[in-house]
Amino acid sequence: MQKTNLSWEETKERAEKVVGIMLLRTDKIQQPWKLYGVPRGGIPTALLISQVLMRHNVSSILTESPINANFIIDDIIDTGKTQSRYDDEEYDDMPFFALVNKQQADKDIGWVVFPWEKMAGEEGPEENIIRILEYIGEDPKREGLKDTPKRIIKSIWRLCSKHKRF
């Protein structure tokens, strides 16, 4: 699968585009705008969006709950599952913005690695498997589990792919 490593500069350019759309759609929202960053990737994205808003003379704050926000911010819309969690009455059609939207403009971008993921060493799906192992109380560095994330990803490719990649 194609991997796209976004630089900080590319990420900032995407944040500028998102803010441009936000400004066009939201002229009646009082300042400070309240941003909710979806946990993990949405948090650094919301901070970046907040920084760009400041350059447009719009004050903003981050909220700890989406119910208190004017906008929901994420790094990526991939399958749309995360976005769909915020599509009910509780959030009253709150605008959902992301830097990458694989449902629309970024259909062919492949696997995306954001700068904050590179900094944390989280450049591929193996990191998700490592987190699952840690969650169930395993030590992913112990002998016998070191290569498990790669083996699981390889297995998923084989199970789901129409053609062999390995």
Report the distance separating Cα 60 and Cα 143, nearest Å. Answer: 47
Write out the DSSP string of 87-128.
-SGGGTT--EEEEEETTTTTTT--EEE-HHHHHTT--STHHH
Q: Do 62 and 70 meet the contact criterion of CB atoms below 8 Å apart?
A: no
Do residues 116 and 44 lie in contact, with contact meaning Cβ atoms separated by under 8 Å?
yes
Q: Can you give the length of the chain in residues?
A: 166
- 145: tokens are 């589990």
Which domains can be identified in the chain, with CATH numbers? 3-118 (3.40.50.2020), 125-160 (no CATH)
User: What stretch of H or E contains 49?
Assistant: helix 42-55
16-70 pLDDT, tens digit per residue, is: 999 999 988 776 778 899 999 999 889 999 999 999 999 999 999 999 999 889 8
Lowest mean per-residue pLDDT among 65-69, 91-95, 162-166: 162-166
Q: What is the pLDDT of residues 110-160, one digit of tens each?
A: 888 888 887 766 666 777 787 788 878 888 888 888 888 888 888 887 887
Whole-prediction pTM: 0.72
Please spell the DSSP secondary structure of 19-41, one letter per residue.
Answer: HHHHHHH-TTPPSSEEEEEPTTT
